Chains A and B, each alone.
Chain A
Amino acid sequence: MGAEMTEVAQDAPATTRMNMIQAINSALEVVMARDPDVIVMGEDVGYFGGVFRATAGLQKTFGKTRVFDTPITEIGIMGVAIGMGAYGLRPVPEIQFADYIYPALDQLVSEAARLRYRSAGEFTSPITIRSPYGGGIFGGQTHSQSPEGIFTHVSGIKTVIPSTPYDAKGLLIAAIEDNDPVLFLEPKRIYNGPFNGHWDRPAENWSKHPAGEVPTGYYTLPLGRAELVREGEAVTILCYGTMVHVVAGVVAEAGVDAEIIDLRTLVPLDIETIEASVKKTGRCMIVHEATRTSGFGAELSALVQERCFYHLEAPIERVTGFDTPYPHSLEWAYFPGPVRIGQALKKILKD
């Protein structure tokens, strides 16, 4: 992971253990201290510090004009952030759950994403929208969705999804410093620890994971660069967010020599890493928690087919959530867990 770091503050007291929430909080604190134009806004983010505590302490440190609660209107939060960006600020609005981003869709898709283009660069939207996403927390239909595929379909928005505390901090700082709108989706199932998909086993925290060791100071990870989580020869597995850990768990248990690629940024996509890996292994499996039809996996599958067709030894395999609303009581039946992934792995290796 150290090789990925593009800049490390010289006087930073090295590293400390953080979970993903602490890493996000640290990123916000570091970047706000460096740039007075960065502001944080959203429902419950101010005095209370966010329902997941990601903005805890920021209002106390930076004051109410830089960290403030907002009315419960996502379209307003997004529209106001765009106006602040046009003024010259660098807003970091929080949408409390990704499930609540739909009211803001028009402002995000038709405004933030197109402002640079339609004004030929006169106005831009240097906004980073943070939003917890994904299930596995008994959040039911409205606190569990993975809407990334809606946004990767839109030109002009970058979509970033970290899978570790270390990545979360470095990617979030890079996203905030980026001059284009970035949707930063935080896999909330792994806020507190990596999750191998075995919901019936004791939860882990980040204390033993190498990427739970996070620099306290400033560093960035470049957007558009995937991470090779595990090198292997048998099959390439493309995944992101929570599923990186679920996949890693399945691969370890099955003893398969799989190459696991954590995409980290969906747009722009690190196609070189994907292409090189699939050409090497000859097999490609795609895993995401979102619903299947027209999901980002479909795009990945098409890209791999277009670029690696003559290297493929088996059909591309997609492992996804089902095309149903995210259920409450049956969430583990929906979730693409170890069994579904394990079966797909057997299938793609047999073909």
Chain B
Amino acid sequence: MAGVPSRANLPPLTLHVPEPKFRPGDPVDFAEVDVPPAGSARRPDTAEDARNFTDLAYTLVRVLDDEGRAVGPWDPKLSADQLRRMLRAMVTLRAFDDRMFRAQRQGKTSFYMKATGEEAVAVPQAFALDRDDMCFPSYRQQGLLIARGYPLVEMMNQIYSNKGDKLQGKQLPIMYSAKDYGFFSISGNLATQFPQAVGWAMASAAKGDTRIAATWCGEGSTAEGDFHSACTFAAVYRAPCILNVVNNQWAISSFSGFAGAEATTFAARAVGYGIAGLRVDGNDALAVYAATQWAAERARTNQGPTLIEHFTYRAEGHSTSDDPSQYRSAGEPNAWPLGDPLKRLKDHLILLGEWDEERDAAQDKEVAEQVRAAQREAEKNGILGHGLHQPLDTLFEGVFEDMPWHLKEQQAQMLAEEEASGRPWARK
């Protein structure tokens, strides 16, 4: 019977339900987060057997120190021009996010997701990968598109589901698809892209291609079966791919403990599968770049997959539908011990004498204007809910390559229904 101990002579069992350190109103102190000194992690040769550096799954690969110097074996030694381009893409990403968040609040679209605080994940990775390597992103890697020069107007057209939207308004805002930019269609279901990326990489290897695949998921969705199936397949066939886990501490309101973070790191999942694992300071653009470049070289030389945990922090809500003040302390974002990724890269450039506050302020202004101009351009194509942006017929296009009779029938029914409704957007 429930609640009655069956054997009174034994101690009762207890169920452990994880609880985050801080809830709304709590003062925040991240002293327990272990942050090893920059430069302290070793950098194995890319041909090294994964079994020989499992320690790297439990530390943090860090390049930028507290003074903004690049130190240690993982320093990718990028040129000042490369650093400035990377900074500009990260600044653009943040400006774009702010603009689109506001557009959602103004009722111009239904939904948006920011990458604030995580700009050093996707952007430096796009710079470290080859332009034609295939990316299978989750929903917070818009930095890949921005870094690869995908037109901001196209992104906004998709966000507005307007008549310029190449996806014909069929997908939720920010679920981009950009094949020509090596960017796979974002699903919205969690971690499904993981085995797909591995399959793409296996196909590339089977065909003797030279391109590799990269994929991303959050720490929360590493609990999905897809993640584990992907790791097994990647390990078994030594698939040329990079499996990125963006550990931003929060999966909507569930802290990383509900994905297993109390017990071990996410990079340590690699150890169990026998694949290369790195745990990286995800707010350190240079460390992320270096880790990605290293993993890409392993993949490209048939050393197989690498799992990279990007240790970072989701500075804002999960999405425009989320209110993090309801479940976590407002002090967390500012107390996060790894700092702001933009500021860290900027400080580094200034320390090198390759950048200064005036240029930075001018760039901020310039980028903000660029984003505003893109927005004006995109809004000429319409915003969500203001009129019909796609011909009604497109509702039935693309279910199959050729439309079967039952869809043709339903399409005719819909068109008749629109005629009968007398609505202003009857067939265009």
Contact B404–A224 (Cβ < 8 Å): yes
CA distance A111 to B167 in the complex (A): 16
Residue A271 CB within 8 A of the other chain = yes
Q: For the complex, what is the distance from the CA of A104 to the CA of B72, rounded to whole Å?
A: 45
Contact with A along B222-242 (1 / 0, CB 8 A): 000110111011001000000
What are the residues of chain B within 8 A of A88 when measuring CB–CB? 203
Within 8 Å of chain A (Cβ to Cβ): is B398?
yes
We find that the number of chain B residues with CB closer than 8 angstroms to chain A is: 45
The chain A residue sitting closest to B204, CB to CB, is A87
Question: Judging by beta carbons under 8 Å apart, are A106 and B185 in contact?
Answer: no
Binds B, one of A67-75, A276-284, A338-346: A67-75
The answer on a CB contact under 8 Å between B400 and A119 is no
B170 at the interface (CB under 8 A from A): yes
Interface positions of B from 178 to 204, Cβ below 8 Å from A? 178-179, 184-185, 187, 189, 192, 194-204
Q: Is B171 an interface residue (CB 8 A)?
A: yes
Assuming the contacts A111-B187, A117-B170, A118-B175, asked whether A79 and B399 have C-beta atoms less than 8 A apart, the reply is: no
Q: Does B401 contact A (CB under 8 A)?
A: yes
Complex interface bits, A111-153 against B, C-beta within 8 A gives 1, otherwise 0 = 1000111111111100000000000000000000000000000
Q: Is the CB of A120 within 8 A of B203?
A: no
Decide if A172 is an interface residue (CB 8 Å cutoff).
Answer: no
Cβ contact within 8 Å between A83 and B189: no
The 8 Å CB contact of B196, one of A73, A82, A120, is: A82
Known: A76-B229, A86-B196. A121 touches B398 (CB 8 A): yes
Cβ of A294 under 8 Å from chain B: no
The one of A75, A89, A269 that contacts B226, using a Cβ cutoff of 8 Å: A75
Contacts of B400 in A (CB 8 A): 116, 156, 158, 180, 268
Q: Does B166 contact A (CB under 8 A)?
A: yes
A118 engages B198 (CB within 8 Å):
no
Contact A87 B200 (CB under 8 A): yes
Say if the beta carbon of A80 comes within 8 Å of chain B.
Answer: yes
The reply on A39 being an interface residue by CB < 8 A is: yes
Q: Which residues of A contact B229 (CB under 8 A)?
A: 71, 73, 75-76, 79
| Interface flag for A304 (CB, 8 Å) | no
Which chain A residue has the least Cβ–Cβ distance from B241? A83
Chain A CB within 8 A of B168 CB: yes
Given A70-B233, A80-B202, A86-B184, A156:B399 Cβ within 8 A: yes
Q: Could you tell me if B194 and A79 are in contact, using CB atoms closer than 8 angstroms?
A: yes
Would you give 10 A-B contacts (Cβ < 8 Å), ordered by A? A71-B232, A76-B195, A79-B226, A79-B230, A86-B200, A87-B203, A110-B189, A111-B196, A122-B179, A179-B401
Chain B residues near A (Cβ < 8 Å): 134, 136, 166-168, 170-171, 175, 177-179, 184-185, 187, 189, 192, 194-204, 206-207, 213, 225-226, 228-230, 232-233, 236, 398-401, 404-406
Q: A residues touching B (Cβ–Cβ < 8 Å)?
A: 39, 65-66, 70-71, 73, 75-76, 78-89, 91, 103, 106-107, 110-111, 115-124, 155-156, 158, 178-180, 224, 267-269, 271
